[in-house]
Structure 1
Amino acid sequence: MTTAPAVRGTDVGRDPRGSRRAWTVTALLVVFMMVNFADKSVLGLAADEIRADLHLSATEFGLANSAFFLLFSVAAIVVGMAADRVSPKLLLLVMAVLWSVAQVPAAVGGGLAVLIGSRIFLGAAEGPAFPVAQQATLAWFPNDRRNLPGALITIGITLGVIVSSPGLSWVIQHHGWRSALWVLAAIGVVWALLWAAFGADSPRARAATGLKADDGAPPAPYRRIFASRTWIGSTLAYFMSYWSVALMLVWMPSYLRNALDYSAATAGRLVVLPWAVGAVVLLGQAALTGRLMRRGVGSRRARGRVGGFMLAIGAVCCLLAPFVDSVPAQTVLVSLGFGFSGSYATVAATTVAELAPASRSGGALGLMNALVTVSGLLAPAVVGALVDAQGDAGYQHAVLVTGALVAVGAVLAFVLIDPERDRARLTS
């Protein structure tokens, strides 16, 4: 089979008509990720209300949130590899519909078992969301112009929390936490209808059959991609970063209310601060990386080292925060620490998309996301156990653990990531 030049990422990304469609798809997928993370954040926003309603300890609540990630990783692998052969548009549509369905059991009623069951189902449906959304978006753009759309998809995560937190908090406080689940189910249905009407696969995605690489040669097997230093470094650094994301989703509202003594209303407003920091960091990273690459700087520096510095800044802020006596200063340091630490996703996705051929990108991104989100399975349960054992001091120790893990991720990013080197080895 011959791969026509017209479907290569570079040509599609620079064709005016393709560009308009590419940005329409990108905008829809930004909203897709907003819905995705509003779904994830709702239990954290309603943590105290759910614990009081269902009579849960901190450990039980942490385990209920960890259950979300039980099938998350498996689904990310299976659907990520399927995205190399099946229409990403169809996969994304099915996922969005399933998200809405998953909200219904807990919204109707039931106790801890129903809550856990619905979160497991939701996690399975949402597991492939980020890698498939990144694949569907990045396929429309050439490598040196992927940083902004990749960052925008990740900013959808941030916007999902920033936009939904005040509204969902209001619904929770005035109508109960189950009503918030109904709201999210309705939003998911609306997005699915819009995607069915306006979503599209890029010509490059349609051409990637899983049998040919970008230049028409047989693609490198998955095992060689997964064994590369760049894939390993990106995955491990992202794993450490995602630990902080999981804690922001599940425990940040409780940390603000219980460890820093903010009121519920104030905590509902302040919880968006680390996400807002993350949005600024993401845009700054996209601009800096794109500028460096257009000037001919190698992606080892433009992606590996820029991402490493982001994680290093986050780690330092987290490690300092528990030792500061001032509550406002702690709030600022934690916001900066988690904001920088949790902003690595775009670097990881664009790095792996550069490393892997188009016909292997879904599987490469899917397995990375599957392994990364194991930290989402561990982090809520670990912090829940710390809080039950140590009280409010457990929150401060959780911040220290996060800083230490993110520092390890920064070192790995500096040492291991070099996409150009490893892609050349894959094609040799």
Structure 2
Amino acid sequence: MLKTHSKATDTAKIVIGLAFALGLVNYLDRVVISFAVGPIQKDFGIDNASFGLAMSLFALGALAVNGISGVLLDRYGARRIWSLGLIVWSLTMFMLGWIHYWWLFLAFRVLLGFGEGVNFPAMNRAIADWVPQEKATQATSLALLGVPCALLIGGPVLSWLIGEFGWRESFMALGIAGVGIFVVWLLLYREPEQTEKRKVPTLAEYVAVLRNPTLLTTAWSFFGFGAILFFGITWIPGYFEHEFDLNLMTIGWFTTMPWAFSIVGMLLIGTLSDRLFRASGDIRRARIHLIWILQLLAAASFIPLASVTSSDWAVFWLTLGIGFSMSANGPYYSICTDLFPESAGAATGIIVTFFSASGVLIPFLVGWLTDSTASFDTAFLMLSGIVGSGALGLLLFARPQRPTQLRR
């Protein structure tokens, strides 16, 4: 029994570590492309709306596989399905550094999305397999720290690298790093012994997952979460350059603040959520209340951005808005494993599909709004409305019927 517990603990650490590394590499890609807006537009001769389209097509690729990857993960396990996603992402990332035709660049961004669309459902499937339920949010928050860490270090480091060497070389380096993670994953990760015996959910059970009101309201709120994240990744450098005429290095340092706040918030909220769950076993108290409060604070923080005239105040409100929203990241995933431990992959696939849909729409909409109005003001108000509606939806409609029993 002790040996089995030790193996589970070791494997849980492997899952968390590799998910962190993969999130770091994946989101360094987002940093590269957001800080390379100018060079990419110059290389391909495109405007803001066309650049936004490239970001949206990447998310469209992820959107296309989120749901089906969740079902496949429940059936075949994380080792096989995540391996496939990893190698597709890594090879595509490397090839993007070689491409010189815009239409081909767009096509490969879709393929990159195919590879990345597996990642978060696979992470949550593996965590559901190896981490006790009362520790799941803290484990998930640790795994997801790769995202804000990438955005924290990526700003100052990659803005310098792009200036010195160019964006293409950065893409190739990230592809090589992805191959390294793929090799380590294959060598270290094994499915739990009960995987072969695990009951595969039926079609009727998957339909029940899809129709669950708590999961659906969580999914809409996760759309709002994605709206803020994709705006932060894609448009913050362009916002400071357009509105305040700042240079790339200054922007790189400014962008560290929202992500530093996010790291602290994710760690604190992950720990708090699990403590509340251990004390009550109540999903609404331990997960849902934390999410809607944080997202309502995020929505309120974006309203002043429509009228700020100082770059210092802009950084302040962006730090609060992004930090509050990102802090809720772990509890979103825990709701899926709390409600549907046997269908955790499929449930995660549903909410991540909404997340990816925001990645399709938001970068393009922000680009279109800024081209149309010559300002980011309308985009900030749009983001506030979307995130606020998700928070209110959770407050009013996310009501699990009863506290769940802890999954050991």
Match of 1:107 among 91, 94, 97: 97
Give the distance between the partners of 1:206 and 1:153, measured in 2 at CA.
25
Which residue number corresponds to residue 135 of structure 2? 145
Q: Alpha-carbon deviations, 1:293-322, whole Å to 9, x = none? A: 222262211111011111011111111222
Does residue 226 of structure 1 match 2:210?
A: yes
Which residue of structure 2 lines up, in the alignment, with residue 288 of structure 1? 272
Pairing of 1:48-87 with structure 2 (within 5 A): 48-87=38-77
> Contact 1:79/1:366 (CA < 8 Å) preserved in 2?
yes
SS, match of residue 208 in structure 1: coil
Q: Does the alignment pair 1:356 with 2:340? A: yes
Q: Is the 8 A contact 1:37 1:157 kept in 2?
A: yes
**Counterpart code for 1:229:** P
Question: In the alignment, what sits opposite 2:311?
Answer: 327
Q: What is the alpha-carbon distance in structure 2 between the residues aligned to residue 204 and residue 69 of structure 1?
A: 34
Aligned residue in 2 for 1:126: 116
Q: Which amino acid aligns with 2:381?
A: L
TM-score w.r.t. length of structure 2: 0.93
* 1:416 and 2:406 matched: no
Q: Does the Cα contact within 8 Å between 1:315 and 1:403 map onto a contact in 2?
A: yes
Opposite residue 348 of structure 2, the aligned amino acid is L
1:3 alignment partner in structure 2: none
What is the CA-CA distance between 1:371 and the residue it aligns to? 2.5
Query: Which 10-residue stretch deviates more, 88-97 or 241-250?
Result: 88-97
2:307–2:377 Cα contact (<8 Å) kept:
no
Q: Which residue matches 1:399?
A: 380
Return closer, same or farther for 1:341/1:172 CA change in 2, 3 Å cut-off.
same
Report how many aligned residue pairs link the two structures. 405
Change (3 A) 1:170 1:292: same
Q: What RMSD over aligned residues (CA atoms) do the two structures have, in Å?
A: 2.2
Q: CA offsets per residue over residues 261-319 of structure 1, 9 Å max, x none?
A: 32110111222222222212211111111121222262211111011111011111111
For residues 154 and 177 of structure 2, the distance between their equivalents in structure 1, rounded to whole angstroms, comes to 11
Whole-Å separation in 2 of the counterparts to 1:299 and 1:126: 28
Distance between the aligned counterparts of 1:70 and 1:333, measured in 2?
29
Amino acid of the structure 1 residue aligned with 2:127:
T
> 1:255, 1:203 → 2: CA distance?
50
> Percent identity, aligned pairs only?
24
Answer yes or no: is the 8 Å Cα contact 1:300–1:420 preserved in 2: no
- The structure-2 alpha-carbon separation of the partners of 1:220 and 1:140, relative to structure 1 and needing over 3 Å to count, comes to farther
1:89 equivalent in structure 2? 79
Native 8 Å contact 2:61 2:113 kept in 1: yes
Aligned in 2, Cα 1:260/1:122: closer, same or farther, shift over 3 Å?
Answer: same
Partner of 1:27: 17
Q: How does 1:190-339 map to 2 (within 5 A)?
A: 190-210=180-200, 221-296=205-280, 298-339=282-323
What displacement does 1:365 show?
1.1
Q: For the residues of structure 1 that align with 2:281 and 2:79, how far apart are their CA atoms?
A: 34
Alignment partner, residue 177 of structure 2: 187
Q: Which amino acid aligns with 1:162?
A: L
Unaligned residue ranges in structure 2 (runs of 5+): none
Task: Report the 3-state secondary structure (helix = DSSP H, G, I; strand = E; otherwise coil) of the residue aligned with 2:280.
Answer: coil
Q: 5+ residue gaps in structure 1?
A: 1-5, 212-217
> Cα offset for 1:26?
1.3
Name the TM-score, length of structure 1 as normaliser.
0.89
